[in-house]
């Protein structure tokens, strides 16, 4: 390519950037107008709802449907995700609590869902995220709920039994783990590997093969593991990209998770009900009386009405010895007439039924 050609292409890029800049500014002004309309149409004593997950899901889907490339759908949606995040921040800067410290996968999930224009607050434990949301100190919380290799995150499920929360979104993240070391680590003298217990479990086979005799130390989070190795010459950490760059660590080995499709699902929790989008999921908690056939009785209405169950998890109820509650996720919104009828049928047989929320299926 000649210098002349390169110059001409850059002139074109500059002119396109100017147009994009103008269009983004136009869009941002529109969002400001939306905020004004939302404020003007409030009834007496009503609180404005600026964040609209159902609309955001529709915007991202529309972008993906219309995208002709060469950028991929995910890439394009990510760019629009950030534009929308900045537009919303003009209306109302969202405060989001997540399972910290900084650099965790939960932080990455929060950014993937809300974009980077939110005010984010790391919390030391899952229960603290719930409490922060319940206290109204933040608008939303982000917590992990299940991993494709290791299963349910029980702390999260149990927290739903203790707090009244509405689930208003979900996001899935591919989890890649790396073996990380600090500048002063002597890589041939590693005697200790730190990580969160779930991550150590997700890399068990790799560790057995490569570091069979090295002590595995479970710590509160992967980011905490990364922080520790920075100052220790004989240890390594298992953590992801965010923690690696946050603490300036080097990847001794990349993508060491045992299963290449290792993913974690995260939930957005708050107090806001989300209207139907036509492509939703619902989460409920049900407790049945402790008698034979109770689970069968619970599942029949779903089967009879062709409702797609995406997950079922059992946890001790905490209100009696050997009594259990079921956490169930299924496709549909609790306001859909068919789902309404099924939930009514179940509540006739159940000891208790609580809808945790209906929310758009993860778009990104």
Ligand X SMILES: O=C(O)C(=O)C[C@]1(C(=O)O)C=C[C@@H](O)C=C1
To ligand X, the closest distance from the beta carbon of 31 in angstroms equals: 5
- Report the C-alpha gap between 313 and 285 in whole angstroms: 10
Residue 327 in contact with residue 288, Cβ under 8 Å? no
The span from the CA of 127 to the CA of 104, in Å, is 16
Residue 87 found at the interface with ligand X (CB under 6 A)? yes
- The token pair that represents 208 in the structure block: 């057995």
Least Å distance between CB 332 and ligand X?
23
Token output for 28: 């941002």
Look at the alpha carbons of 212, 210, 190, 125 in this order and tell me if their dihedral is positive or negative: negative
The whole-angstrom separation of Cα 153 and Cα 265 is 10
CA 61/CA 55 separation, integer angstroms: 10
| 22 to 61: interface string for ligand X, x by CB under 6 A | ---------x--x---------------xxx--xx--x--
* Binding of residue 91 to ligand X (CB under 6 A): yes
Asked if 63 is part of the footprint of ligand X (rule: CB under 6 A), the reply reads no
Q: Binding marks (x or -) toward ligand X, 258..297, rule CB under 6 A?
A: ----------------------------------------
Q: Which of the ranges 86-94, 138-146, 243-251, 319-327 carries the binding residues for ligand X, by CB under 6 A?
A: 86-94
Closest to ligand X by CB, 88 vs 325, is 88
- 28 Cβ partners below 8 Å, 6+ apart? 86, 87, 90
Under rule CB under 6 A, residue 78 binds ligand X: no
Could you tell me which stretch among 85-93, 102-110, 173-181, 239-247 binds ligand X (CB under 6 A)? 85-93
Q: By C-beta, is 88 or 249 nearer to ligand X?
A: 88
Q: Give me 210's structure tokens.
A: 């490569």
276 vs 301, beta carbon nearer ligand X: 276
CA atoms within 13 A on the CB side of 227: 12
Instruction: Encode 123-161: b = buried (16+ Cβ within 10 Å), e = exposed.
Output: beebbbbbbbbbeeebbbbbbbbbbebbebbebbbbbbb
CB of 93 to ligand X, least distance (A): 12
CB of 166 to ligand X, least distance (A): 16
Size of the site for ligand X (CB under 6 A): 12
Q: Which of 57, 60, 88, 111 lies at the binding interface for ligand X (CB under 6 A)?
A: 88
Integer-rounded Cα radius of gyration of the chain = 23
123 lies in the site for ligand X, by CB under 6 A = no
- Residue window 143-182: x/- pattern of binding to ligand X, with contact defined by CB under 6 A: ----------------------------------------
Quote the least distance from Cβ 34 to ligand X, whole Å.
4
Angle formed by the axes of helices 73-91 and 53-66, to 10°? Answer: 150
Q: CA nearest 284: which of 354, 352, 358?
A: 354
76 vs 214 by CB, closer to ligand X: 76
Side-chain-facing half-sphere of 141: CA atoms under 13 Å: 31
Closer Cβ to ligand X, 55 or 192, answer by number: 55
Residue 236 binds ligand X, judged by CB under 6 A: no
Residues in contact with ligand X by the rule CB under 6 A: 31, 34, 50-52, 55-56, 59, 84, 87-88, 91
């Amino acid at each position: 390519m000649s210098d002349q050609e390169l110059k001409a292409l850059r002139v074109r890029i500059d002119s396109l950037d100017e147009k994009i800049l103008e269009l983004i500014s136009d869009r941002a002004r529109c969002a400001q107008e939306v905020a004004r309309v939302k404020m003007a149409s409030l009834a007496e004593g009503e609180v404005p709802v600026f964040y609209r997950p159902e609309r955001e899901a529709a915007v991202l889907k529309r972008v993906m449907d219309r995208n002709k490339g060469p950028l991929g759908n995910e890439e394009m949606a990510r760019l629009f995700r950030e534009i929308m995040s900045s537009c919303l921040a003009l209306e109302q800067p969202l405060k989001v609590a997540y399972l910290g410290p900084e650099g965790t996968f939960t932080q990455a999930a929060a950014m993937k869902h809300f974009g980077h224009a939110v005010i984010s607050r790391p919390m030391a434990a899952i229960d603290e995220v719930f409490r922060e949301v319940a206290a109204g100190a933040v608008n939303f919380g982000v917590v992990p709920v299940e991993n494709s290799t290791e299963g349910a995150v029980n702390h999260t499920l149990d927290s739903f039994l203790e707090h009244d929360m509405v689930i208003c979104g979900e996001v899935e993240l591919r989890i890649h783990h790396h073996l990380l070391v600090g500048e002063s680590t002597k890589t041939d003298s590693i005697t200790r590997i730190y990580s969160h217990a779930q991550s150590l479990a997700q890399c068990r086979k790799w560790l057995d093969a490569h570091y069979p005799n090295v002590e595995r130390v479970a710590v509160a989070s992967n980011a905490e593991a990364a922080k520790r190795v920075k100052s220790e010459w004989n240890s390594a950490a298992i953590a992801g990209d965010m923690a690696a760059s946050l603490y300036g660590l080097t990847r001794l080995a990349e993508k060491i998770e045992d299963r290449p499709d290792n993913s974690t699902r995260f939930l957005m929790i708050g107090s806001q009900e989300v209207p139907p989008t036509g492509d939703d999921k619902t989460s409920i908690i049900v407790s049945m009386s402790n008698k034979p056939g109770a689970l069968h009785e619970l599942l029949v209405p779903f089967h009879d009405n062709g409702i797609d169950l995406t997950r079922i998890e059992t946890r001790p109820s905490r209100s009696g010895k050997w009594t259990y509650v079921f956490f169930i996720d299924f496709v549909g919104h609790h306001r859909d007439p068919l789902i309404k009828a099924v939930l009514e049928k179940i509540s006739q047989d159940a000891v208790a039924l609580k809808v945790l929320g209906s929310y758009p299926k993860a778009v990104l």
